[in-house]
Amino acid sequence: MALAETVALKEKKREKYIITTIRRLFKNKLAVAGLIIVILQILMAIFAPAITVHDPIKQNLASSELPMFSAGHWLGTDNYGRDVWSRIVYGARISLVVGLIAVSLGLIGGVLLGMLAGYYPKLDAVIMRFVDLLFSFPGILLAMLIIAILGTSLVNVAIAISIWSIPTCARIVRGSVLSIKEKEYIMAMRSMGASDLRIMARHILPNAAAPIIVFATMRMATAILSTASLSYLGLGAQPPTPEWGAMISQGQDFMWTSPHLTIVPGIAIMLTVFAFNVLGDGLRDALDPNMDIQQ
Amino acid sequence: MKKQWLLLLTLIGVLILSACSGGSTIPEGEEGSGSGSEPASEGAKEVIYASTSDAVGLSPTMTNDSVSSNVMTQIYENLFERNPETMELEPKLAESYENTDDLTWVIKLKEGITFQDGTPFNAEAVKYSFDKLRDPATGAPRASLLEPLDTVTAIDETTVEIKTKYPYGPLLAALSHSNAAIISPTADEKQDLMQNPVGTGPFKFVSWANGDQIVLEKNADYWDGEVALDKVIFRVVPETSTAISMLQTGEVNFLDALPPEQISRIEGLENVDVSKQEGTPVYYLTFNHSKERNQDPAFRKAVAQAVDRDAFVEKLNGLGVRSDSVLGPKVFGYNESADNAGTAFDPEAAKKLVEENGFADEPIKLLAANRDNFVLMAEIVQAQLTDAGFKVEIEMMEWATFLDTARAGEYDMTFLSWSNVTSDGSEMFYPNFHSDNVGNSNRAQYSDPEFDKLVEASRTTIDQDEREQYLNDANMYMLENDVAVVMYHGLVTSATDKSIKGLKVDPNGQWSLKDVTRE
């Protein structure tokens, strides 16, 4: 009876927590703008075939470099006569998928390492020195090194970016674990004989979720930007994949004759990165339990 | 509150005032530096050339790249050179030559020429240069140029006798190659020519700031008339579009190898002259002939039928010539009949072949260098092959890695190019397609005894008419068997400031600044 009451109480509490978080998030106008852009982009990616007429990799050499607002191609065509709108839409798919994979892999690695380091003092030094080692490389350089070893492809870009996300994530998680570990309820769990795994998975991880969510959102922005940068350098998407960074790289030869070939994908990258960043910022403010006191 | 506003306004006022006075001093400074540089550009006649990468080195013996040879062509000279108008080989440092038999070439040298360091140019210098190039201990990248040589003897001060191991037809062409230029023996023994070159040419070396610029000055004692320019600067500008902006503002005066996608922009510049003419570079799609699938004639035919070369050449904005022939119009051995002798574009027939033989079952790895025209070729050909039913994956690589990967044969199909410096067909077929060079310069891994025989005949025959026939036969053989699909023959292009007169780019892409003037 008493147990049932606690569970009900707990669920109510959690519900209330989520509702207040969302309410706080919606108060932040920038974050809402970010959220809308992100949702739009997700819809674009899912319904790509429905909102485009042309195949993004179908060439039509006879109608190349059409300017914006041409008949049938409202964003024009590129050097090979491929529809820029189709390429942007399918590019959204690539950016989101690569970003999602990179961030998920990075989270798995980072959370695992961070938890272990935070929970077991003996492992702490070893893991954190390894993390420091990863930190000592500038991010993009580390990614380039990994791609040089694995070869150029989008999959390898995702792997490279995920590895580069691991150290930051591990540090954030370790910090949270260190403080949560000392809380009375964890002590209580331990004295009741709960296993380490149970404590970590059921009690520490949910309580460390807020910084992880914020990190993941912000990291999406970095991951999308890095994918574009690496593809721009020719290390990511191989032609004719409609990747935004690769599109800019190809378009820059035509900066003088067809500036839209660089400007359009540039704006796409900018909007996406901006959206994920402000959304992450908004989430951080909304998830911060100290917000009420500050206000 | 009001006082604060007042303070702010005063502050802004002061800032604006100081900005104004600052503004008036800036033009003065500019004028000062402007008047300082003006006499330099007016008094001393100089030409600044921009290239996307730095030279590797300045010794003809130890280099084999076009950027280095652009600089070296101004410093060194050869025994023979090809007349760009008639495409005939003419004596340069040589006076005349005769064949006493099929294996012996006796070359008379011009008298009274000295190297830039004062060393006399004579038969010993020629012997020294050639022996150094072909000595295995030197490890010269283009030692193969003089591989057929048996002995080089200085008979007297101005006579050299060259004996070849077998009758070697393209000898004079080989001697006209920029890597077979004559170097000063005393300078070579004393210093590293890679950093400190000495030749007989119209310009001598002054300085080299690595990755930035190379400066040459006029050779006042040049043997073949007065040199009009005082100074030549080879500047490294990695971005072509930056180089074009610099050409527009006069920071550089001369660019070559203009990219097709920028040509309309360059032609639109008011202060710039653009020259375009047919050249020797050829760009082709080749199979990796060591792979089993590529040995199937039907597969190669299907690929050749699927590639619409006309549509591609149109994308080059006039900077490419369409011809099936492997040897271009400016190369010795070319015959007009080869222009349309290749497999014609026929998408329907290609589709049929792909379907019947199941060529789509296994994807093709299309290797491409990430330089502009190679990217263009790869993307267009990939789309065309896909239309015909093939599965094609592009793999892009940076230039140096690409060359190694292609040499090792780690690809299914790729694009290669060859700008024929000697303009002789043997110099195309032998290094690129003869079985002797598989795993080396024969990146297509092509090995066919019948073809080898034709190429060898073209090399070991002295009679030039017979050689031409052998080269044409070899050319036709390649086209009949779809050994490679020729995409286009490149034009050699240059863009120069209008003040520069007399610059002429040779069909092999090289140029001399000897007769160039600046107004």
- Nearest Cα to Cα of residue B78 among B98, B92, B97, B66: B92
Indicate the residue type of A95.
S
- Nearest Cα to Cα of residue A127 among A75, A96, A173, A87: A173
- Nearest Cα to Cα of residue A90 among A60, A55, A63, A58: A55
DSSP structure string for B2-50 = HHHHHHHHHHHHHHHHHHHHHHHHHHHHHHHHHHHHHHHHHHS-EEEEE
Indicate the residue type of A123.
L
**B221-274: pLDDT as tens digits:** 999 999 999 999 999 998 888 899 999 999 999 999 898 888 888 999 999 999
- Average pLDDT on B318-339 reads 92
Residue A224: partners with Cβ closer than 8 Å, 6 or more residues away? A95, A96, A98, A99, A269, A272, A273, A276
Measured between CB atoms, does A150 come within 8 Å of chain B?
Answer: no
The DSSP H or E segment spanning B123 is helix B123-134
pLDDT at residue B6 greater than cutoff 70: no
| pLDDT, position B4 | 61
| pLDDT, position B372 | 67
CA dist A263 and A260 (Å) reads 5
**CB spacing of B394 vs A238 below 8 angstroms:** yes
CA dist B350 and B292 (Å) reads 19
Please list every residue in chain B whose beta carbon sits closer than 8 Å to the beta carbon of residue A249: none
CB nearest to B396's CB, from A59, A234, A256: A234
By the 8 A CB rule, do B344 and B380 touch?
no
**CB spacing of B378 vs A239 below 8 angstroms:** yes
**B387-441: pLDDT as tens digits:** 999 999 998 887 778 888 998 999 999 999 888 888 899 989 998 999 988 877 8
pLDDT at residue B22 greater than cutoff 70: no
Q: Digits of tens for pLDDT over chain A (295 positions)?
A: 455 566 666 677 777 888 888 888 888 889 999 999 999 999 999 999 999 889 998 888 888 888 889 888 989 899 899 999 999 999 999 999 999 999 999 999 999 999 999 999 999 999 999 999 888 888 788 888 888 888 888 899 999 999 989 999 999 999 999 999 888 988 898 889 888 888 888 888 888 888 899 999 999 999 999 999 999 988 888 888 999 999 998 888 888 888 999 999 999 999 999 999 999 999 988 887 665 444 3
Please list every residue in chain B whose beta carbon sits closer than 8 Å to the beta carbon of residue A256: 241, 262, 265
Measured between CB atoms, does A81 come within 8 Å of chain B?
Answer: no
Residue A140: partners with Cβ closer than 8 Å, 6 or more residues away? A226, A229, A230
DSSP structure string for A1-62 = -HHHHHHHHHHHHHHHHHHHHHHHHHH-HHHHHHHHHHHHHHHHHHTHHHH-SS-TT---GG
Task: Provide the shortest C-alpha distance from residue B286 to chain A (in Å).
Answer: 19
Measured between CB atoms, does A6 come within 8 Å of chain B?
Answer: no
Indicate the residue type of A224.
I
Query: How far are the Cα atoms of A10, A126, B130 from residue B322, in angstroms, in the given order?
Result: 77, 64, 38
Partner residues linked to B209 by β-bridges? B213
CA dist B248 and A214 (Å) reads 49
**CB spacing of B396 vs A239 below 8 angstroms:** yes
By the 8 A CB rule, do B278 and B85 touch?
no
- Nearest Cα to Cα of residue A172 among A205, A126, A125: A205
In chain A, the residue whose alpha carbon lies closest to the alpha carbon of B310 is A61
| pLDDT, position B11 | 54
Q: How many CB atoms lie within 10 A of CB B165?
A: 12
By the 8 A CB rule, do A250 and B386 touch?
no
Q: Which of A4-18, A19-33, B116-130, B502-516 has the lowest average pLDDT?
A: A4-18
Please list every residue in chain B whose beta carbon sits closer than 8 Å to the beta carbon of residue A240: 379, 382-383, 394
Rg of chain A on CA atoms, in Å: 23
| Structure-token match 């230039």, residue found | B399
- Average pLDDT on B41-56 reads 82
By the 8 A CB rule, do B350 and B306 touch?
yes
CA dist A71 and A190 (Å) reads 69
Look up residue B248 and give its two tokens: 């527009």
Q: Distance of alpha carbon B178 from its chain centroid, rounded?
A: 11
- Nearest Cα to Cα of residue B332 among B47, B88, B49, B57: B88
**CB spacing of B311 vs A61 below 8 angstroms:** yes
- Nearest Cα to Cα of residue B450 among B470, B468, B432, B465: B470
- Average pLDDT on B45-60 reads 90
- Nearest Cα to Cα of residue B230 among B495, B516, B512, B502: B516
Q: Which of A133-147, B80-94, B153-167 has the lowest average pLDDT?
A: A133-147
In eight-state DSSP terms, residue A153 is S
State the alpha helices, DSSP H only, in chain A: 2-27, 29-46, 48-51, 84-119, 121-135, 139-150, 154-181, 184-191, 196-198, 205-207, 209-232, 244-251, 260-287, 291-294
CA dist A167 and A146 (Å) reads 15
| pLDDT, position B115 | 96
Look up residue B275 and give its two tokens: 């020259």
By the 8 A CB rule, do B174 and B422 touch?
yes
pLDDT at residue B21 greater than cutoff 80: no
**CB spacing of B241 vs A256 below 8 angstroms:** yes
Look up residue A11 and give its two tokens: 């669920």
